[in-house]
Amino acid sequence: MKSKGLVVTSIYDAIKTDGDTVRKILESSNPNEDKYTALNNAAFNSGIFIKIPRNLVLEKPIHVVSSVSPDGTSAISKNIIVAEESSKASIVQELYAPKSSKQQAYLELMTINAHQNSQLHLTSFQAMDQSAVSFSTRNCTISQDAKVNSYLGLFGSMLSRYRTHYYLNGVGASVQDAEVVFGNNDQSFDLSANLIHLQPSTEGQVVQRSVLKNKSKSLFKGMIKIMETAPKSKSFLSGRSILLDKDAKSDAIPGLEILTNDVKATHSASVAQIDEEQIFYLGARCLDRSEAEKIIIEGFLEPMSRVMSYQVRAWISYLIEAKWQNRDLVIKSDEQLKSIVEVEEVRYKEADQLETHYKYR
């Protein structure tokens, strides 16, 4: 695809080959935003630059696998994604960290520019060892009629801090963001998502779901902000959590700031334990409590990944299974995923058959 203008390269090579584009994005980052942004601007030592050129439609996803160095050093990464006008692409990001005697960190500053009429699907899996920490700040600008679908799966690291800002900066711009957290042991997750509507007729949706075991905890803060210049906009924000143990803890703080009329905006938040009536129902069908809890959790998280490819769904199932059994999160292999992929692929085929059946009845 290189001959068609696709660029997938390191941030250092991008500075040489796409200097003007990269420089403009680097200069747009405000170091006064917080100390992590200032640190990233001053000392980044890695990063990826992806540019999908105008009118290019990618049938296969761009797959980026990153790992913190096994020598004990941390990574400060600056990642840039540019989807030019009328382009379409899917990007899958996987992040790992090996076991280490000392704490390592992955500090990311990601900038996403979705230009007019582009479509971008971004899937991120964080499966770092729990001896590491992961901080990420993401700024996404969405132009006229552009669409961004984002899926964030947080399964690893001792501490995860993710800040995401979506700037709906064009008429008809839209974003759908789904965030999944599965914590165990003493893991801590600090998530924040902000929908900033700057132009009329924009749509935004952020849905976050957490599953927490042992002494893990999560905090979800979200804000919908509809400016005076953005009438006829629609926005939705939701945070839901299931606590599997009495020492697990979750807080959700959604907010609204509406500065104009003729809009639709709503938010919701809930924190609860598993319904004992559901446990009883499944127990009456010969499932023990652990099996029943697992099925309920899978049903709680499954709608988040329903629109994804069966390969990605299989990877999510693999991570959930690993967390459930307290296994180490390691880079997946074809052998490990083969059986799960087959199940997910058949599930999609069954859905196609059902749709076809009703179509011709």
Integer Cα distance of 234 and 247 in angstroms: 37
Ranges of residues in the chain with a pLDDT under 50 are: 350-351, 353-354, 357-361
From first CA to last CA, the distance across the chain in angstroms is: 43
Domain boundaries, the chain: 2-275, 276-361
347 closest CA partner among 314, 300, 301, 299 = 314
Integer Cα distance of 20 and 287 in angstroms: 60
What is residue 174's predicted lDDT score, i.e. its pLDDT?
Answer: 96
- Quick one: CA torsion of 169, 171, 173, 174, rounded to 10 degrees? 120
What is residue 296's predicted lDDT score, i.e. its pLDDT?
Answer: 87
The residues pairing with 293 across neighbouring beta strands, listed in sequence order, are: none
What is residue 360's predicted lDDT score, i.e. its pLDDT?
Answer: 44
Name the pTM for this structure: 0.89
Q: What is the pLDDT of residues 228-261, one digit of tens each?
A: 999 999 999 999 999 999 999 999 999 999 999 9
Would you state the structure tokens that stand for residue 77, as one six-digit string? 């990464």
CA–CA distance from 200 to each of 57, 194, 234, 237, 291 (Å)?
27, 17, 10, 19, 48
What is residue 70's predicted lDDT score, i.e. its pLDDT?
Answer: 85
The one-letter amino acid code at 291 reads E
187 closest CA partner among 134, 238, 254, 240 = 134
Long-range contacts of 25-31 (CB under 8 A, 24+ apart): 25/80, 25/82, 25/111, 25/113, 26/78, 28/111, 29/109, 29/111, 29/139
Would you state the structure tokens that stand for residue 291, as one six-digit string? 């099996």
What is residue 290's predicted lDDT score, i.e. its pLDDT?
Answer: 83
Q: What is the pLDDT of residues 301-339, one digit of tens each?
A: 877 776 666 667 777 777 777 777 777 777 665 565 565
What is residue 154's predicted lDDT score, i.e. its pLDDT?
Answer: 92
What is residue 345's predicted lDDT score, i.e. its pLDDT?
Answer: 60
Report the 10 Å Cβ neighbour count for 279: 17
What is residue 6's predicted lDDT score, i.e. its pLDDT?
Answer: 95
What is residue 358's predicted lDDT score, i.e. its pLDDT?
Answer: 47
